[in-house]
Amino acid sequence: MTDQTKDRVFIFDTTLRDGEQSPGATMTHDEKLEIAELLEDMGVDIIEAGFPIASEGDFAAVSEIAKRSKESVICGLARAQIPDIDRCWEAVKFAPRPRIHTFIGTSPLHRAIPNLTMDEMADRIHQTVTHARNLCDNVQWSPMDATRTEWDYLCRVVEIAIKAGATTINIPDTVGYTAPRESADLIKRLIETVPGADEVIFATHCHNDLGMATANALAAVEGGARQIECTINGLGERAGNTALEEVVMALKTRSDIMPFFTEIDTRKIMHISRRVSTVSGFPVQFNKAIVGKNAFAHESGIHQDGMLKNKETFEIMRPEDVGLAGTSLPLGKHSGRAALRAKLKDLGVEVGDNQLKDIFVRFKDLADRKKEVFDEDILALVTAAMTTEGTDHLEIVSLKVICGTAGQAEAVLEMEVGGEERSADEYGDGPVDATFKAVRKLYPNKARLQLYQVHAVTEGTDAQATVSVRLEEDGKIATGQSADTDTVVASARAYVNALNRLHVRRSRTGSDVKEISYKDVG
């Protein structure tokens, strides 16, 4: 390791690969390109853009991200197989700074899957890492389930990978099994024991099954790791991955005891957190560290009194450091387009003229119905505008719902389906059930509702409700979101948005469907 990287921690973001593996978090091609652009703009060092051999859709996304990249290293994942590695290289080679990331499961449980002996697996590691290095001078290698691999064998295969040309050695805690002391000790011992370890960068990749991903990643850094693999909002399979925002802000806030630094522009954290939440359909829990709605909220009287006297009494970070506006001044129905654009800029949202026009129309409509329009309301409007953009096969014309204590709820719906206006009158067990039945009558489908979630954007009886819907049809998963002061209207629009996305994917050639199984990779 050079003096230049001694205290520098490289941030390796795998939101687009490991994060997207989370059931229901599949992103569209355009959404992947957008998130990659935001990651690079924020200063992420390495972007793992996908798993190129998984599907044509993954290959196309990784290739396009590679072509558009400027500063970030663009990485693709490949199993320890020559065809995987070749396909990965074909995708990432367009990047100014490409990387091949190849892996194989080295623990006893994972060795049993391909039914390889220790010697056979060692030979394959040598062969595949050598092949990758012959294609690309930036090669990362991972022994999947490293934390449950026998110590002697782990040392052996790490040494083989280094000698074969790997420049980064990633040590994955694939099932979130390790603990902080063990995480630090494992990295430290490998660096001290394995020949050539001082010439490569060691990375840590932690899962959150026991709620220790952030602690384990930071401990690994103290043990000598200089690359953290993480995702926005901790998105990922099962309990998720190490959260980028948590490790970055921990290193920044506690530099007194962890004298390391990253090149992340932390002021852009909130914006990308909200965007990833929108495109993935995974809402951020209110009490989530750093990016949760309540992360900088203080309700206790003692806390409020302390904050008024000295903010440092109960805040160890400034909201502005993660991209939150210092104040939350509401806009009103008399506010103009310039004021709205300025507010969006304060919130870290950059939109084009056409998008601004759409958001402004929605803002005016909302301002006529609400006394005050707060920052959260504006962000909900942005989410709604971006969610519906380019997906208009189905469009709600009007919706009337009758409900109460007397009998079943009734929904009278008018909707355009492929430009043709249709109407339906349906009854159901509540207004949302009746509305969804009406949609299905006008647009018959086999989509199964996996998630229906509602939360209020702000306080008050006139608050907007943000509704998230996740649908599954023939292995394809799509999410939809919408916000409105009428919860039933928001529900209908979210449902239709998800159906529109399924329609788009159905009309393609299945490019977004994973063609191989790669669950629990890394």
Annotated binding-site residues for Mn(2+) read: 18, 205, 207, 241
Q: In angstroms, rounded to a whole number, what is the distance separating the alpha carbons of residues 419 and 140?
A: 50
Residue ranges of the annotated binding site are 18, 205, 207, 241
Q: Which residues contact 366 (CB under 8 A, 6 or more apart)?
A: 373, 377, 381, 464, 485
Q: Residue for token digits 């819907």? A: 469
Rounded to 5 degrees, what angle do the CA atoms 359, 295, 231 make?
A: 75
The burial of 119, by beta-carbon neighbours within 10 Å (0-12 exposed, 13-18 middle, 19 or more buried), is given as exposed
Looking only at the bridges linking them, the beta strands covering 394-402 and 227-230 are: unpaired
Q: In angstroms, rounded to a whole number, what is the distance separating the alpha carbons of residues 361 and 234?
A: 34
In the numeric block, which tokens belong to residue 307? 């904050």
Which H or E run contains 269? helix 269-280
The burial of 154, by beta-carbon neighbours within 10 Å (0-12 exposed, 13-18 middle, 19 or more buried), is given as buried
Which H or E run contains 304? helix 301-309
- Could you tell me where the beta strands, DSSP code E, fall in 207-359? 227-230
Q: Which residues of 349-388 are buried (b: 16+ CB within 10 A; e: fewer)?
A: bebeeebbebbbebbeebbeebeebbbbbbbbbbbbbbbb
Q: Which residues contact 327 (CB under 8 A, 6 or more apart)?
A: none
Q: In angstroms, rounded to a whole number, what is the distance separating the alpha carbons of residues 226 and 203?
A: 6
Given a contact cutoff of 8 angstroms between Cβ atoms, the answer to whether 281 and 251 are in contact is no
Short-list 442, 453, 445, CA closest to 479:
453
Q: In angstroms, rounded to a whole number, what is the distance separating the alpha carbons of residues 366 and 371?
A: 9
Short-list 9, 43, 42, 72, CA closest to 261:
9
| SS3 (DSSP) at 260 | coil
DSSP 321: G
DSSP 207: B
DSSP 266: G
Q: Residue for token digits 């991972």? A: 142
Q: In angstroms, rounded to a whole number, what is the distance separating the alpha carbons of residues 236 and 486?
A: 32
